């Protein structure tokens, strides 16, 4: 007798270059035999690395997973600019060169909390329309600025002849690495674009634990969506950063009807029945009770 696949889980996929995050979602949708599939934060087509693919009711975890801190390894090329900020755009040379010492001296200016302008070629919506669509229509639009946090910006290597820097960046969700590289170039009196980009971590999840699409395709469906697959994470495990509370039978009944339960929590909390995520609750109208945010029953 076959075991029904779980309705809530996350797959760690090692996205290849040359396809969109939506392409990965479509591929996993077919492999898993599920209609309800999404992702926890997009990667540009030229980028590779860790993409969290949300299965079934896990699509409701997006608002919790997308803000997680990210780690990237990027190759920035100086002395040129790209229309998209990356290797996929139209590349044009720009006067000026940089040295390793100059780059090391300027990196601290781009750590901590900074204001970053959203790239023109991005999915961020202005007036309900993605920026990249407005640009391709020939519209003139001012991209919004956002505050992001660059916790760490490390220079791992620099090839002065090629004008290429190898960088490791740890940053808040919503940070655009190709914009960061562009801004580094401008600050040094030349241009820069992102030649290569790999996401190596999302929170505590790492690309080293992810599987390629080919590896996932080789697994039987019953193994793909379960603990037998090391790239699979239960919904309960995916929210490791939230406190967890085991429900009593009486509390489980109350939660199943969307009612508040007794408790005092400063923020969201996972409510569990065994190894199953039942709901996310949080503080609300009264101090003595917690109230539903998301229910997974």
Half-sphere exposure of 5 (CA within 13 A, CB side): 22
- The residue annotated as part of the active site, out of 44, 86, 88, 183, is 44
Query: Could you write out the DSSP letters of every residue in 91-158?
Result: EEE-S----HHHHHHHGGGGSEEEEEEPPSSSS-EETTEEHHHHHHTT------EEEEEEEEEEEEEE
Beta-strand (E) ranges in the chain? 8-15, 37-39, 48-56, 70-78, 80-82, 91-93, 112-117, 125-126, 129-130, 145-159, 164-171, 192-202, 205-206, 232-234, 244-246, 261-262, 269-273, 276-283, 289-295
Angle at 250 between CA 245 and CA 254, to 5 degrees: 85
Contact 77, 163 (CB under 8 A): yes
Handedness of CA 82, 88, 89, 95 (dihedral sign): positive
d(CA 133, CA 120) in angstroms, rounded, equals 9
| 44 in catalytic set | yes
d(CA 264, CA 58) in angstroms, rounded, equals 26
Question: Which residues have a Cβ under 8 Å from the Cβ of 140 and sit 6 or more positions away?
Answer: none
Instruction: Using DSSP, state whether 58 is helix, strand or coil.
Output: helix
Active site (catalytic) residues: 44
């Amino acid at each position: 007798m076959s075991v029904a696949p779980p309705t809530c889980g996350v797959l760690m996929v090692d996205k290849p270059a040359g396809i969109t995050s939506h392409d990965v979602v479509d591929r996993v949708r077919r492999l898993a035999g599920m209609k309800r599939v999404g992702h926890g934060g997009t990667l540009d087509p030229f980028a590779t690395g860790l993409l969290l693919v949300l299965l079934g009711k896990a699509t409701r975890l997006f608002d919790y997973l997308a803000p997680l801190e990210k780690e990237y390894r990027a190759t920035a090329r100086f002395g040129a600019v790209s229309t998209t900020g990356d290797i996929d755009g139209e590349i044009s040379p720009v006067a000026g060169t940089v040295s390793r010492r100059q780059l090391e001296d300027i990196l601290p200016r781009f750590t901590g909390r900074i204001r970053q302008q959203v790239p023109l070629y991005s999915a961020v919506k202005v007036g309900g329309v993605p920026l990249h669509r407005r640009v391709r229509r020939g519209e003139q639009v001012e991209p919004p600025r956002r505050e992001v946090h660059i916790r760490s910006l490390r220079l791992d290597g620099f090839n002065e002849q090629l004008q290429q820097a190898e960088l490791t960046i740890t940053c808040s969700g919503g940070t655009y690495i190709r914009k960061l590289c562009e801004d580094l170039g401008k600050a040094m009196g030349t241009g820069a674009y992102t030649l290569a980009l790999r996401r190596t971590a999302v929170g505590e999840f790492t690309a080293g634990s992810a599987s390629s699409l080919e590896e996932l395709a080789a697994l039987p469906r019953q193994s793909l969506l379960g603990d037998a697959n090391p790239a699979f994470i239960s919904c309960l495990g995916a929210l490791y950063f939230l406190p967890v509370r085991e429900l009593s039978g009486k509390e489980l009944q109350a939660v199943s009807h969307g009612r508040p339960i007794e408790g005092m929590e400063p923020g969201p909390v996972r409510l569990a029945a065994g190894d199953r995520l039942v709901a996310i609750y949080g503080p609300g109208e009264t101090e003595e009770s917690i109230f539903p945010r998301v229910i997974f029953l």
